Chains A and B, each alone.
Chain A
Amino acid sequence: MSASHGGAPAPAQFPPPVDPQGEFIKHGLDPEDDLIEVGVAIVGGGTAGLSCANRLLQLLADDEELLESLGEVPVAVIEKAKTCGGHNLSGAVMRPGALQELFPDVTREDWRAEGFAFGAVCDEAVYLMPSATKAVKIPTPPPFKNHGNEVISVAAMARYQQRLAEEAGAYVLTETAATQLIVEDGAVVGVRSGDKGRGKDGQPLRNFEPGTDVKAKCTVLAEGCWGHLTGAAIREFGLAEGREPQVWELGVKEVWRVPKPLDRLIHTIGPWPLKLKAKYGQIGGTWLYPMKDSKTGDDLVSIGFVIDLEYADATTSAHDLLQQFKLHPLVREILAGGERVSWGAKALPAGGWWSMPKLTMPGALLVGDSAGMVDTVALKGVHHSVLSGKLAAEAIYASLKRGDAVASVEGYEAAVNDSSIGQELYEVRNTRQPFQKGFLRGGPLVNLMIMTKGRFPGGRRKWHRNDAKPMFIGDTKNGYPKPDGTYTFDKLSSVYITGNATRDDAPNHIRVRKRVPREVAETWAWMCPAGVYEIPDEAPSHGPVDVIVNYTNCVQCGAITAKGGRLTTPEGGDGPLYRNL
């Protein structure tokens, strides 16, 4: 395992101490008296999960007989945050069609009045950033065109969808983590909720409440980026066979209240503040979106930095790169005189078409980010999540209607592939892979693919696993500003405003290997936007390091899973409480 000689170490050489199949798959249900029985169990109350719940309830509303046959709880949504949306974050500029189709009677004006939409895009601009002071406006590449799309907050949208779902009869269990997938006779039969009230060493405290088996006719895995149970399901049912590995990006976002409204939607595609040299392996970009809060009249700006987790310089930190990016005159002008009102971070799946796992297994299916439905060329996934939830609901309804003994939802995969999700993701199936060779070498090929809508050069382009990338300790960190506490911030101040106050004596929910090379330890410490990983002062500058894991800072972004660790579900209710991200 020692990688100190014979080349730079890669995080994959130091896998976390975790046995996903043994720990996260439960074989067989508890006895009838000890379990909760529901019709359909949806794991995750985010965009896709709640779209699925709402569509299902729409269909069941017109089918009283079937609704009654599902018992007291026809649809249950299991959400680990304090409220739906509490852990949801996206840019986000959304193509409106899918949501309009899901709720035909609700107008875009209604969305804005509900506080989750912030206006249609009129003007837009894309900039190259050659340096810390220069910005060059370029013609908007076709995938970046956003005219008519809506700027939204997925955290706020989830709250809205939660309310609709509850009004329609869904049972939403917030502050509840789903920790095990229950499999019986080769089919998913439900999930188990997590224990609450355990101490640091796992011992039950006085307020201990054990988890419960939730038995369901069909289970929907809507866990978002690299879901805890999704990963276990993919392995258990071989859903990734013949697919490319999933790859990831990490986004860090802030919302600012600004004195004057931003007049356009902005994307920048670097290279500054990233390094152009291929050895750094850095590909990323930024956004600045105007948000008009029609409830308060406030002018807000969503600003964020996204980086591929394929990078090689261990000192790459999305949090600090965002702070650095804010120093650019283009950004200063927009945020000047403003105030940061929120912050958050989230990883997202970036592999696209070739990395999408098989979407169904007996008794269960995958929707939204769990299924990897993000188009990282157009920088969009919210509309795919909404639509996939809707299509999943329709397939589940058909199965319930047929009275399948084990829900057979295979039609869902074909429906996804035939829909705009399949079409859009297929078109860009090969577009991003060349960037794994670097921005300069990959750039021309990417452009060619965009121009030909993916027809040329065709074929299937491979992805390289993020955690297999050898890491080196570079100098990206030298560009990060010293936080001033008003315009630029340190990680802990950022975590603070997420409202994260995880119980100090909770068990550690993060698995990382002890005694890792300095390169790997630094990768974790810099990458984590919440300051979870810390290198002890007395650690040797070469040789093995035991990182300190401040797991109570964790905002559950999931990036660690892409770079050699493993995020598992903490106690339900822990973590941040995002509002308008």
Chain B
Amino acid sequence: MSGILAYALHYEGAFNKNSLGGVSEAARLAEQAGCVAHAVVIGDVSDELAATLGHYGVTKVFRAKDAPEGLAQPVVDVMAKVMDDNGHDYALFGGGLLGFEIGAGLAARLNAGVTMEVTQVNVVDGKLTAERPIHGDSSISTSSYKDRGIIIGRLNAFETAVPGESAAEVEDVTVELSEASQRLKMVTRGEQRGADVDIEGAKILVAGGRGLGKPEGFELCEALAEALGGAVAATRAVVDAGWYPYSTQIGQTGKTVSPKLYLAAGISGAIQHKVGFQSSENIVAINKDSNAPIFEYSDLGIVGDLNKILPKLTEAVKAKKG
């Protein structure tokens, strides 16, 4: 096999965290399979910024300066041409809705196989196979590809490598955009559900559940999150009850997060919620019910009244930070 091409999305001068995960994964797989890993960037990216993708292990970055970033069709045009010209067998995406859209279009364009919501990629006999959880994550389905393959990760499935020193070579490519691409124009760009916080990107999350007792209970979470420099998340139960916005919902039918610290306040820890945060590095739970399932997978559990504990914790954090 001759190569893996990863798409790196950027916004306001920085690469998307999931894209960096995808780029890192491409480099890791290429090393295992003994082939090359390259990245592709679209639009206005400086030489310096593009070259930093080398820190994550890719050797070359293709840049299509004239194509608009953030829309799926132009990226399909660019990636299809880059893959055809350079003989890449696989395209890899870190995750997110744009990745799904580009990946689907690219698969149709190249007549390639496509697998979405992938949680793990393996090298088998020099070829890639993708694992995807199905049936509500109760089973794993494995895809292999007859010819070329498009692999789109689940959000946060691919770990971003520790950045190294090497810079990537940047090669500009000119791609004639298809008619469909030219009809599209970016009007505005913003968070999908009107969220003003980046739940998925936050390093610290303070999550509240029905154990908060009332909508005002979230004020305690907000105060602690502010003190810690994190964001506030919620369970489906409280979103359903209208206590907090849907954009903050974590779980099976909400967002999937993996912060460094997930502090669960008044959350029983049903599996439907657990699947949304289980890959967090540290999980701390506060619940008055010592039988709550959440304690079974917490690194630290506190049995007690969160109305007393949360304010004290907030004060302590503030005091420590000075």
Contact, CB under 8 Å: A499 / B246 = no
B241 located at the interface, meaning its Cβ lies under 8 Å from any Cβ of chain A in the complex:
yes
Contact, CB under 8 Å: A504 / B136 = no
A498 located at the interface, meaning its Cβ lies under 8 Å from any Cβ of chain B in the complex:
yes
B114 located at the interface, meaning its Cβ lies under 8 Å from any Cβ of chain A in the complex:
no
B272 located at the interface, meaning its Cβ lies under 8 Å from any Cβ of chain A in the complex:
yes
A193 located at the interface, meaning its Cβ lies under 8 Å from any Cβ of chain B in the complex:
no
B87 located at the interface, meaning its Cβ lies under 8 Å from any Cβ of chain A in the complex:
no
Give the Cβ gap from B192 to chain A, nearest Cβ, in Å.
Answer: 13
Contact, CB under 8 Å: A482 / B237 = no
Smallest CB gap from B237: residue in A: A550
User: How far apart are the CA atoms of A544 and B112 in the complex, in Å?
Assistant: 60
Binds B, one of A63-71, A94-102, A411-419, A485-493: A485-493
User: How far apart are the CA atoms of A552 and B271 in the complex, in Å?
Assistant: 14
Give the Cβ gap from B211 to chain A, nearest Cβ, in Å.
Answer: 8
Q: Do A499 and B136 contact each other (CB < 8 Å), given the known contacts A485-B296, A504-B240?
A: yes
B97 located at the interface, meaning its Cβ lies under 8 Å from any Cβ of chain A in the complex:
no
- What residues of chain A lie closer than 8 Å to B316, measured between beta carbons? none
B138 located at the interface, meaning its Cβ lies under 8 Å from any Cβ of chain A in the complex:
yes
User: How far apart are the CA atoms of A537 and B306 in the complex, in Å?
Assistant: 15
- What residues of chain B lie closer than 8 Å to A552, measured between beta carbons? 236, 240, 253
Contact, CB under 8 Å: B240 / A496 = no
User: How far apart are the CA atoms of A504 and B136 in the complex, in Å?
Assistant: 15
Q: Do A499 and B135 contact each other (CB < 8 Å), given the known contacts A492-B271, A493-B270, A548-B241?
A: yes
A185 located at the interface, meaning its Cβ lies under 8 Å from any Cβ of chain B in the complex:
no
- What residues of chain A lie closer than 8 Å to B164, measured between beta carbons? none
- What residues of chain B lie closer than 8 Å to A499, measured between beta carbons? 135-136, 138
A234 located at the interface, meaning its Cβ lies under 8 Å from any Cβ of chain B in the complex:
no
- What residues of chain B lie closer than 8 Å to A501, measured between beta carbons? 136, 252-253
A577 located at the interface, meaning its Cβ lies under 8 Å from any Cβ of chain B in the complex:
yes
Smallest CB gap from A482: residue in B: B291
Contact, CB under 8 Å: A485 / B249 = no
Give the Cβ gap from A481 to chain B, nearest Cβ, in Å.
Answer: 12
Contact, CB under 8 Å: A537 / B296 = no
Contact, CB under 8 Å: B236 / A504 = yes
Contact, CB under 8 Å: B136 / A493 = no
User: How far apart are the CA atoms of A577 and B134 in the complex, in Å?
Assistant: 11
- What residues of chain B lie closer than 8 Å to A341, measured between beta carbons? 138
User: How far apart are the CA atoms of A454 and B320 in the complex, in Å?
Assistant: 81
A401 located at the interface, meaning its Cβ lies under 8 Å from any Cβ of chain B in the complex:
no
B293 located at the interface, meaning its Cβ lies under 8 Å from any Cβ of chain A in the complex:
yes
A29 located at the interface, meaning its Cβ lies under 8 Å from any Cβ of chain B in the complex:
no
Give the Cβ gap from B252 to chain A, nearest Cβ, in Å.
Answer: 6
Give the Cβ gap from B91 to chain A, nearest Cβ, in Å.
Answer: 28
Contact, CB under 8 Å: B246 / A504 = yes
B213 located at the interface, meaning its Cβ lies under 8 Å from any Cβ of chain A in the complex:
yes
Contact, CB under 8 Å: A490 / B270 = yes
Contact, CB under 8 Å: A493 / B271 = yes
A461 located at the interface, meaning its Cβ lies under 8 Å from any Cβ of chain B in the complex:
no
Smallest CB gap from A493: residue in B: B271
Contact, CB under 8 Å: A496 / B253 = no
Contact, CB under 8 Å: A537 / B213 = yes
Contact, CB under 8 Å: B270 / A497 = no
User: How far apart are the CA atoms of A59 and B239 in the complex, in Å?
Assistant: 53
Smallest CB gap from B134: residue in A: A499
- What residues of chain A lie closer than 8 Å to B270, measured between beta carbons? 490, 492-493, 496
Contact, CB under 8 Å: B240 / A550 = yes
Give the Cβ gap from A110 to chain B, nearest Cβ, in Å.
Answer: 26
A295 located at the interface, meaning its Cβ lies under 8 Å from any Cβ of chain B in the complex:
no
Q: Do A497 and B213 contact each other (CB < 8 Å), given the known contacts A504-B239, A504-B246?
A: no
- What residues of chain B lie closer than 8 Å to A483, measured between beta carbons? 293
Q: Which size class do B's interface residues fall under?
A: 20 to 34
- What residues of chain B lie closer than 8 Å to A550, measured between beta carbons? 237, 240
A579 located at the interface, meaning its Cβ lies under 8 Å from any Cβ of chain B in the complex:
yes
Smallest CB gap from B139: residue in A: A341
Give the Cβ gap from A60 to chain B, nearest Cβ, in Å.
Answer: 36
Residues 442 to 489 of chain A near chain B (Cβ within 8 Å)? 482-483, 485
**Binary CB contact string for chain B from 57 to 81 against chain A (1 if under 8 A, 0 otherwise):** 0000000000000000000000000
Contact, CB under 8 Å: A504 / B249 = yes
A174 located at the interface, meaning its Cβ lies under 8 Å from any Cβ of chain B in the complex:
no
Give the Cβ gap from A507 to chain B, nearest Cβ, in Å.
Answer: 13
- What residues of chain B lie closer than 8 Å to A492, measured between beta carbons? 270-272
Which of B138, B253, B254, B293 is most buried by chain A, counting CB atoms within 10 A of its CB?
A: B138
- What residues of chain B lie closer than 8 Å to A490, measured between beta carbons? 270, 293
- What residues of chain B lie closer than 8 Å to A503, measured between beta carbons? 253
- What residues of chain A lie closer than 8 Å to B138, measured between beta carbons? 341, 496-497, 499
- What residues of chain B lie closer than 8 Å to A212, measured between beta carbons? none
- What residues of chain A lie closer than 8 Å to B271, measured between beta carbons? 492-493, 496
User: How far apart are the CA atoms of A493 and B293 in the complex, in Å?
Assistant: 10
Contact, CB under 8 Å: B296 / A500 = no
Give the Cβ gap from A486 to chain B, nearest Cβ, in Å.
Answer: 11
- What residues of chain B lie closer than 8 Å to A495, measured between beta carbons? 272
Contact, CB under 8 Å: B136 / A500 = yes
- What residues of chain B lie closer than 8 Å to A33, measured between beta carbons? none
A538 located at the interface, meaning its Cβ lies under 8 Å from any Cβ of chain B in the complex:
yes
Give the Cβ gap from B154 to chain A, nearest Cβ, in Å.
Answer: 14
Smallest CB gap from A489: residue in B: B271
Q: Do A496 and B213 contact each other (CB < 8 Å), given the known contacts A503-B253, A504-B249?
A: no
User: How far apart are the CA atoms of A579 and B291 in the complex, in Å?
Assistant: 32
Q: Do A496 and B293 contact each other (CB < 8 Å), given the known contacts A504-B249, A550-B237?
A: no
Residues 219 to 259 of chain B near chain A (Cβ within 8 Å)? 236-237, 239-241, 246, 249, 252-254
Contact partner, A504, options B213, B253, B291, Cβ 8 Å: B253
**Binary CB contact string for chain B from 275 to 304 against chain A (1 if under 8 A, 0 otherwise):** 000000000000000010100100000000
Give the Cβ gap from A189 to chain B, nearest Cβ, in Å.
Answer: 38
Smallest CB gap from A531: residue in B: B270
User: How far apart are the CA atoms of A246 and B192 in the complex, in Å?
Assistant: 49
- What residues of chain B lie closer than 8 Å to A548, measured between beta carbons? 237, 241
Contact, CB under 8 Å: B252 / A496 = yes
Contact, CB under 8 Å: A497 / B136 = yes
User: How far apart are the CA atoms of A439 and B42 in the complex, in Å?
Assistant: 74
User: How far apart are the CA atoms of A483 and B240 in the complex, in Å?
Assistant: 26
Contact partner, B135, options A485, A493, A504, A579, Cβ 8 Å: A579
User: How far apart are the CA atoms of A550 and B239 in the complex, in Å?
Assistant: 12
Smallest CB gap from A200: residue in B: B240
Smallest CB gap from B138: residue in A: A497
User: How far apart are the CA atoms of A552 and B254 in the complex, in Å?
Assistant: 13
User: How far apart are the CA atoms of A498 and B137 in the complex, in Å?
Assistant: 10
Contact, CB under 8 Å: B252 / A485 = no
User: How far apart are the CA atoms of A496 and B291 in the complex, in Å?
Assistant: 20
User: How far apart are the CA atoms of A234 and B51 in the complex, in Å?
Assistant: 72
- What residues of chain A lie closer than 8 Å to B136, measured between beta carbons? 496-501, 577
User: How far apart are the CA atoms of A492 and B239 in the complex, in Å?
Assistant: 17
Contact, CB under 8 Å: A538 / B135 = no
Residues 160 to 214 of chain B near chain A (Cβ within 8 Å)? 210, 213
- What residues of chain B lie closer than 8 Å to A579, measured between beta carbons? 135
Give the Cβ gap from A484 to chain B, nearest Cβ, in Å.
Answer: 9
Smallest CB gap from A503: residue in B: B253
Q: Which 4 A-B pairs have the closest CB atoms?
A: A492-B270, A499-B136, A496-B271, A499-B135
List 12 extra interface pairs beyond A501-B253, A577-B135, CB under 8 A. A485-B293, A490-B293, A492-B271, A493-B271, A496-B272, A497-B135, A497-B136, A500-B136, A501-B252, A502-B253, A504-B239, A504-B254
Contact surface of B with A, Cβ cutoff 8 Å: 135-136, 138, 210, 213, 236-237, 239-241, 246, 249, 252-254, 270-272, 291, 293, 296
Contact surface of A with B, Cβ cutoff 8 Å: 341, 482-483, 485, 490, 492-493, 495-505, 537-538, 548, 550, 552, 577, 579
* Contact sample, A vs B, 15 pairs, CB 8 Å cutoff: A483-B293, A490-B270, A492-B271, A496-B138, A496-B252, A496-B272, A500-B136, A501-B253, A502-B253, A503-B253, A504-B236, A504-B239, A537-B210, A577-B135, A579-B135
